[in-house]
Amino acid sequence: MADNIKLNSISDLVQREIEKYTHHVETEDIGQVVSVGDGIATVYGLDGAMYGELIQFSDDVYGMAMNLEQNSVGCVLFSDENGIREGDVCHRTRRVVSVPVGDALLGRVVDALGHPIDGRGPIASEGERPVEMPAPAIMDRQPVNEPLQTGIKAIDAMIPIGKGQRELIIGDRQTGKTALAIDTIINQRGKDVYCIYCAIGQKNSSIAQIVDKLKQHDALKYTCIVDASASEPAPMLYMAPYAAVSIAEHWMRQGRDVLVVYDDLSKHAVAYRTLSLLLKRAPGREAYPGDIFYLHSRLLERSCRLKDELGGGSITALPIAETQAGDISAYIPTNLISITDGQIFLNTDLFNQGQRPAIDSGLSVSRVGSAAQTKAVKSVSANLRMELASYREMLDFARFGSDLDPATKRILTHGAVLMEVLKQKQYMPFSQAQEVLDIYVAQSGQLDDVAPADIHRYLKVLDGVMDAHHADIYAAIEQTGQLTDEERHTIDQAFATVKETLAREGAK
């Protein structure tokens, strides 16, 4: 009898131990691949896996848990699935996807997981930061109150951007969207702003060209490029902007100003749609999954200006979106417009007419940036939008060819002058003082009697004269952000002389 009891308790004990053992090993941390294909692995087990956790399939193949179901886990793979077969074992890593951060990333090109892809060796990072982080709380932020100079006259004058703002660049394909963003990066030289250019689904050849241009303009030393090119699997495209903003956040937390360009989020949305459909999530409008809005809002909410107690750093975001035939009311564009603080709309017709950058001043807006504009820029550009609006309106009338009264003619001539002055070549950002000078001269009507074809020549000569004889005015505008009456008078006189000289030369 006593033996019997002993035996029973021993077998109970053993059974209990086995139960504990099997539960812990087989289903908590380890899983077995049930099926693999299209960059998705369905795994049995991994009971303890968390959403977004990094899952290791082999030495160098990782995935991320994205679908947590009752009996299986859907993982997206970050590299080629060729090495993975049904029945393979995979492990939890108890880590979320993170990227290296720090100044060592400046001048480098990295992929969406922060691995260098420029062939210049490993990156000595300061640490790692998870790609998904909550956005700074409302009470940790302060209003946008400092300008971020883009160096593009039309933007700084009419659609000003402040540090910490999110401004969407939107337009059809080949309308100069990337060009605007790259010019803005080039203009940050010497301004103590770190930049990140995040390429999503772009061609490798265009990335190489951009890196080259940044190098030529000495802008690579304060820029990091996060590249998930069109040839990479969809999960890398999905991950890239979050990696970019994590790198930026590290600098923001150190009190720095950072500019991040996402080029472009339409392709990002498509990559996420691909992932979701492969993960068998229910499709919604235009086959995008239901959380497509959240995809971009949780990304862009991470851009802000922190309050001074937290270092006063900022992330300014310039997301880019592509439209089809100028339709800004499509699904993804409307989502992005409602998340951002304004949009710069690039118009194909204007682009084809030679108006470059092809900014449509009627459909573009900046909801917070004007608070950050300097007094000088604000005062010279106050009526710009209104005047351009009446110019566009009159232009439609003028098409009927009827006799025009002098007032209408004046609006048309002045509008044409303004449009011409706002034209700007690529890779030639202007300093704030140059912008103020050009717009002031145009707005004061002094260019209205100059033929449009000559306008840029006149402005160039004036710029030379100011540089040579009135460098103090240029310096004062940069420093104080103001334009005094006295300075206006000096500019008027200088331009009168320039006009006289050039008119005489032209007459010869």
Contact call for residue 176 and ligand ATP (CB under 6 A):
yes
Nearer Cβ to ligand ATP (55/180)? 180
- DSSP class of residue 141 equals B
Q: How far is the CB of 151 from ligand ATP (least distance, A)?
A: 12
Nearer Cβ to ligand ATP (135/363)? 363
Among positions 341-380, residues that touch ligand ATP (CB under 6 A) are 356-357
- Strands of 356-469, DSSP E: 365-366
Nearer Cβ to Mg ion (178/443)? 178
Which residue number has the CB closest to Mg ion?
A: 178
**Out of 281, 367, 385, 457, which one is annotated catalytic?**
367
Nearer Cβ to Mg ion (150/374)? 150
The SS3 of residue 31 is strand
| Residue written as token pair 């992330």 | 315
- Are the C-beta atoms of residues 148 and 259 closer than 8 Å to each other? yes
Which of 175, 343, 347, 432 touches ligand ATP by CB under 6 A?
175
Q: What is the DSSP string of 398-445?
A: HTT-----HHHHHHHHHHHHHHHHT---TT-PPPHHHHHHHHHHHHTT
Q: What is the Cα–Cα distance from 443 to 156, expressed in whole angstroms? A: 15
Token output for 99: 């990227």
| Residue written as token pair 């420093």 | 479
- Are the C-beta atoms of residues 141 and 302 closer than 8 Å to each other? no
The count of chain residues that interact with ligand ATP, using the rule CB under 6 A, is 14
Among 85, 94, 64, 128, smallest CA distance to 272 is for: 64
The SS3 of residue 378 is helix
C-alpha distances in Å from residue 28, one per residue of 51, 239, 462 = 14, 26, 73
When CB distances are held under 5 to 8 angstroms depending on the partner's kind, the choice from ligand ATP, Mg ion, none that residue 356 binds is ligand ATP
State yes or no: is 385 an active-site residue.
no
Q: How far is the CB of 177 from Mg ion (least distance, A)?
A: 5
Q: What is the Cα–Cα distance from 35 to 187, expressed in whole angstroms? A: 50
Among positions 439-478, residues that touch ligand ATP (CB under 6 A) are none
With CB under 6 A as the contact rule, which of the stretches 78-86, 284-292, 421-429, 462-470 interacts with ligand ATP?
421-429
Nearer Cβ to ligand ATP (357/369)? 357
* Residues listed for the chain: 508
Q: Which residues bind Mg ion (CB under 5 A)?
A: 178
Q: How far is the CB of 319 from ligand ATP (least distance, A)?
A: 13
Contact call for residue 229 and ligand ATP (CB under 6 A):
no
Q: What is the Cα–Cα distance from 73 to 45, expressed in whole angstroms? A: 7
Q: How far is the CB of 179 from ligand ATP (least distance, A)?
A: 3
Contact call for residue 274 and ligand ATP (CB under 6 A):
no
Active site residues: 367
* Footprint on this chain of ligand ATP (rule: CB under 6 A): 171, 173-179, 322, 356-357, 424-426
